[in-house]
Amino acid sequence: MTPEKLCELAKEAMSRAYAPYSGYYVGAALLCSDGTVYQGCNIENASFSPTNCAERTAFFKAIYDGHRDFEAIAICGGKEGKITGLFPPCGVCRQVMREFCRDDFKVYMITPEGYELKTLTELLPSSFSL
Ligand code: THU
């Protein structure tokens, strides 16, 4: 799985977003170590706080299916699905990554031109875990 292909799958996932409140469509594609890819979208709620981010949708689908070993995630988002810049993962999603991923887990943040790559440690230094 190339980074480019993973990014394509994240872009495809944006179209599944349920985002009637913010209008931001977000997509994610999570690569498991065995090569399986899980796609996720954001799922909003009238009560706002139950909203689930695209990244966590992908993680929770994968975890439920029994996956525990992850290589990378590609993420994109934008108003009405138009990618105009980076859409970095929120703090809650970074903490979920921390629970299941190694320090060198790769996060591809899609841009209009391509992507920016950071590791989980770069995105969440001095992190909390048990
Ligand atoms: N969102 C994500 O899906 N992932 C993030 O990491 C940040 C935010 C979603 C939640 C909400 O539906 C919309 O983006 C605007 O905050």
Each residue's pLDDT tens digit in the chain (130 positions)?
Answer: 999 999 999 999 999 999 999 999 999 999 999 999 999 999 999 999 999 999 999 999 999 999 999 999 999 999 999 999 999 999 999 999 999 999 999 999 999 999 999 999 999 999 999 9
pLDDT score recorded for residue 121? 98
- Contact between 115 and 8 (Cβ < 8 Å): no
Residue 55 designated active-site: yes
Q: Which atom of ligand 1 is nearest to the CA of 43?
A: 12
Structural tokens at position 71: 């290589």
Please calculate the CA angle 18-107-7 and round it to the nearest 5 degrees: 60
Rounded CA separation 18/6 (Å): 21
Q: What is each CA distance from 46 to 15, 26, 34, 50, 91, in whole angstroms?
A: 20, 17, 37, 8, 22
DSSP 55: H
Residue 89, ligand 1, Cβ within 6 A:
yes
- Please tell me the pTM assigned to this model: 0.98
Contacts of 34 (CB under 8 A, 6+ apart): 67, 69
Count Cα atoms within 13 angstroms, Cβ side, for 89: 37
Q: How far does residue 104's CA lie from ligand 1's centre (Å)? A: 23
Q: How far is CA 68 from the centre of its chain?
A: 16
- Contact between 20 and 45 (Cβ < 8 Å): no
- Which phi and psi (to 5°) does residue 77 adopt? -170, 160
